[in-house]
Structure 1
Amino acid sequence: MSLPEYFVLPGGDRMPRIGFGTWQASDDVLEKAVEEALAAGYRHFDSARAYENEAALGRALKRWIGADPAKRKELFVVTKLPPGGNRPELVPEYFDASFRDLGLDYIDMYLMHTPFAFEHVPGDLHPKNPDGSMKVDLTTDLIGVWKALLKLKQSGRVHHVGVSNVNEEQLRRLNAVEKPACLQIEIHLLCQQRSLIAVAKELGIPVVAYSPLGSKALADALSAKTGREYPDLLQLPAVVKIAEAHGRTPAQILLRHLLQSGVAAIPKSTNPARIKQNISVWDFELTESEMTELSALDRGENGRICDFGFFPGIEKHPEFPFKK
C-alpha cells in the first residue's frame, strides 16, 4: 500500500502526515529534540501558545534555516490560540504573541486550540479561582472567534486556519461559515473517534491525531491524581505481537495504523532514537487482518485520555465538547 506522505491543502501547500509534537517539553530539552527531529527528516512541527515553549521552537527552526530563507518553505509550522484568547477581539493579540515568539516570517497553520474559553488574564494562560477551579468564560462566541481566525489570513502572516478538540456538531457549525483547513484531535488505538473522523472526511477536512502513542506522561500524571488506570499502548499484547512480526517498534505500529486509517499524526519524543523511529513508518504495511485487530481495541469515549479534567470546572462551559 502506497500512502501519501502529505495532505494537500487549499492553494497547494503540503502538510506532512507525520509531524513532531512539542507539548510538555522544557525549552532546553525541546531545542535539542527539534534539532534531532530536523536531522531525522521531520518538517511538520506542532506547537501552541498554551505550551509556553514557542520561542524555543522558533530558535531551533531559525538556526536550521540559517542564511538560506528558501529552507523555510520546507517547514510546516503549526501553533494555536489558547483558551484565554477565545474572544474575537483578543485573537489578534494572542496571534501576535505567538508570531513574535516563533520569530518566523509566517505561520503555516493557526488552530483554535479549544472551543471553550478561560477568562482573559494578562500574563496567565491558565487562570484559576482561589478554590483551584478554572476561571471559565461562559460567554464564548465560537463563530465569532472562528471568523476572527479567518480574518488573520488576510495579513499573509498565517496561511491556513483550523480547529482542535471540537465535536461533530461544533465542526459542522464552523464549517458552515468556512471549511477549516485542519482538524486536530486526540486519536489513538483506545480512542479512535471514527464518527468524528467520518464527518471530517465528509466535509473534506484533513485530520491530525495528537497523543497518537497514548501520551503516557499525561496518563501517568492523571492516574496519580485520580487513581484511574490508563493502559500503556506500547505494551498492549496485540501491538507487541504485531511489532515483533514486522521487526518494528510498538510505536511504529501505532503510527502506521493511524496512517493507514487516513489520518496524520504528531508523535512527541525527546529521545533521539525514538525520534528517528517515529518517522520511519513509510516502508512497511499492516495487513488487513492486523488493521482489523488493532481497530477492534477502540474503547470510544472511555478510551479518551485528554478529557481536560486537569482544568477543574471546565465541563460547565456551554461549548465543552466531551459531554457524555
Structure 2
Amino acid sequence: MSDERVTLKNGLKMPKFGLGCGAITRENTVCVVNAAIDAGCRLFDCALLYGNEPDVGDALKKVFESQKVKREDVFITTKLPMIGNHPSRVEHFLKKSLANLKTDYVDLYLIHFPVGFEYSEEEVFFPREDGRIKLDYSTDIINIWRAMEDQVKAGRTKSIGVSNFSKEQIQRIIDIATEPIANNQLEVHAYFQQKELRKFCKDNGITVSAYAPLGSPGRREAFIGSQGIPQVMSDPIVAGIAEKHGKSTAQVLIRFLFQDDVTALPKSSSAQRITHNFNIFDFTLSTDELIDLRSLDKGEVGRTFNYLEIFEGLDKHPENPLAPAS
C-alpha cells in the first residue's frame, strides 16, 4: 500500500487513505484493526459518539505493544460530540477520548458538527424530547474553536479541524484563528463531490477528508433520509471503469477520491472487505476516466446525509451548515 501523505497547514503529515471506525463492532475490533494495519492503513478515523473508542483503543494498544507499528507511525483522528459543543466541555470530552483510545494525544481533533445538542447526560449523545433532537441554539463556534486551540497548546492534539462546516463558518474561524484549520471532513462521493466547498478549503490550505466515499450503504437507518442510499456503486460508468481495470466499483470510487486529493475514509466491519478496499494502489485512473467520474456529480441532489431531515429543527438553528449562503 502507498504511504502517500498530505501535509496539513501546521506541517503534520496525514495519510491520504484511512479507515472510518464507525462500523466496527466490539466482537470484531481486534480482527478489523489488525487487518487494516496489515493492509498498510495508518489512519484511523474515530469519534466519541461512534461508541467504540475503548475497543479501538484496546486494539491499537495491542498493535503498538507488539511493535508491529509504532504509535508515531499511526494517525489517529477523533471528534468532539455535539453535546460537547460548548467551550467549557471541549477539554473534558477530548480527555475522555484520550482515555478511551489509550493514548496521550491524537493527531487530529475535529468538531463533529457545527450545531450543538443540549447536554444532559455524559453518554446521551442524541438527547430527544417528543422524538426530536434537543438542539442547543446558543452554540458559539468561535469560542468553541478557541477552546480547541487550547487543546493544541496543552499537547492533547497535534492539530484541529472541523466536520460538516460551511464556507461561511470556516471563514469566520479563519478570521480569528491562532491555530489553523487542518481538515474539513465532509460527505464526498462521486454523486456528491462538493467541488465549490473543496476548492474553498484548498485555497485556504485546508485538507478535505471524505466520509461516505461509497455512499455509505451500511449506515444506520436513523441516518437514511428520504432520498435513500445513493446507488453509486452500481452506476454503469463506474462499473465500466471497474471492468476495464479488473477492479471493483468500490475500489474505483476510492481511487477516484485518492487521485482527486480527498482522503477517503471508508467504513467496514469486515476484515476481508477492508483488505479489498485498500487494494487501490496497483492501478491509476486515466484523465478521461477522471473526467467521466467527475461528470457524475449531482450537486445537492446527491447529498444523502440530509441533516435537515435527520435533525428536525436544524433549519432554525443559527449555525445550520446547510443554510443558503448569505
Q: Deviations over 1:41-76 (max 9, x none)?
A: 111000111111111110110000016497111100
The Cα of 1:91 is off from its aligned counterpart by: 0.7
The one-letter code sitting in structure 2 at the alignment partner of 1:205 is: I
Identify if the C-alpha distance between structure 1 residues 276 and 265 changes in structure 2 by more than 3 Å, giving closer, same or farther.
same
Q: Distance in 1 between matches of 2:30 and 2:69?
A: 21
1:203 alignment partner in structure 2? 204
Q: Deviations over 1:74-133 (max 9, x none)?
A: 10000000111111111111111111111112111100001001011123111001x100
The one-letter code sitting in structure 2 at the alignment partner of 1:197 is: R
Q: Distance in 1 between matches of 2:220 and 2:56?
A: 24
Q: Deviations over 1:120-167 (max 9, x none)?
A: 1123111001x1001110001110001100110111121111111001
Q: How does 1:105-254 map to 2 (within 5 A)?
A: 105-123=104-122, 124-129=124-129, 131-178=130-177, 179-218=180-219, 226=226, 228-254=227-253
The one-letter code sitting in structure 1 at the alignment partner of 2:273 is: R
Report the TM-score, using the length of structure 2 for normalisation.
0.92
Identify if the C-alpha distance between structure 1 residues 229 and 115 changes in structure 2 by more than 3 Å, giving closer, same or farther.
closer
Identify if the C-alpha distance between structure 1 residues 220 and 117 changes in structure 2 by more than 3 Å, giving closer, same or farther.
closer
Identify if the C-alpha distance between structure 1 residues 322 and 10 changes in structure 2 by more than 3 Å, giving closer, same or farther.
closer
**Structure 2: tracts of 5 or more residues without a match:** none
The Cα of 1:190 is off from its aligned counterpart by: 0.8
C-alpha RMSD over aligned residues: 1.9
Q: Distance in 2 between matches of 1:315 and 1:143?
A: 20
Q: Distance in 2 between matches of 1:70 and 1:288?
A: 36
Q: Is the 8 A contact 2:222 2:310 kept in 1?
A: no
Q: Distance in 2 between matches of 1:272 and 1:116?
A: 34
Identify if the C-alpha distance between structure 1 residues 10 and 196 changes in structure 2 by more than 3 Å, giving closer, same or farther.
closer
Q: Distance in 1 between matches of 2:147 and 2:170?
A: 16
Q: Deviations over 1:287-313 (max 9, x none)?
A: 111111111111111111112232333
2:305 alignment partner in structure 1? 306
The one-letter code sitting in structure 2 at the alignment partner of 1:109 is: L
Q: Secondary structure at the match of 1:23?
A: helix
Q: Secondary structure at the match of 2:199?
A: helix
Q: Secondary structure at the match of 1:158?
A: coil
The Cα of 1:26 is off from its aligned counterpart by: 2.3
The Cα of 1:11 is off from its aligned counterpart by: 5.1
2:286 alignment partner in structure 1? 287
1:85 alignment partner in structure 2? 84
Q: Is the 8 A contact 1:132 1:312 kept in 2?
A: no
Identify if the C-alpha distance between structure 1 residues 125 and 220 changes in structure 2 by more than 3 Å, giving closer, same or farther.
closer
Q: Secondary structure at the match of 2:14?
A: strand
Identify if the C-alpha distance between structure 1 residues 203 and 257 changes in structure 2 by more than 3 Å, giving closer, same or farther.
same
The Cα of 1:9 is off from its aligned counterpart by: 2.6
Q: Is the 8 A contact 1:99 1:107 kept in 2?
A: yes
Q: How does 1:68-83 map to 2 (within 5 A)?
A: 68=67, 71-83=70-82
Q: Is the 8 A contact 2:45 2:265 kept in 1?
A: yes
**Structure 1: tracts of 5 or more residues without a match:** none
Q: Distance in 2 between matches of 1:102 and 1:144?
A: 26
State the identity as a percent.
38
Report the TM-score, using the length of structure 1 for normalisation.
0.93
Q: Distance in 1 between matches of 2:154 and 2:69?
A: 21
Decide which moves more: 5-14 or 70-79: 5-14
Identify if the C-alpha distance between structure 1 residues 64 and 209 changes in structure 2 by more than 3 Å, giving closer, same or farther.
same
Q: Is the 8 A contact 1:83 1:114 kept in 2?
A: yes
Hey, which bits of structure 1, 4+ residues long, moved more than 4 A? 67-70, 219-223
Q: Secondary structure at the match of 2:210?
A: strand
Q: Is the 8 A contact 1:22 1:30 kept in 2?
A: no
Identify if the C-alpha distance between structure 1 residues 12 and 127 changes in structure 2 by more than 3 Å, giving closer, same or farther.
same
Q: Distance in 1 between matches of 2:282 and 2:200?
A: 29
Q: Is the 8 A contact 1:163 1:182 kept in 2?
A: yes
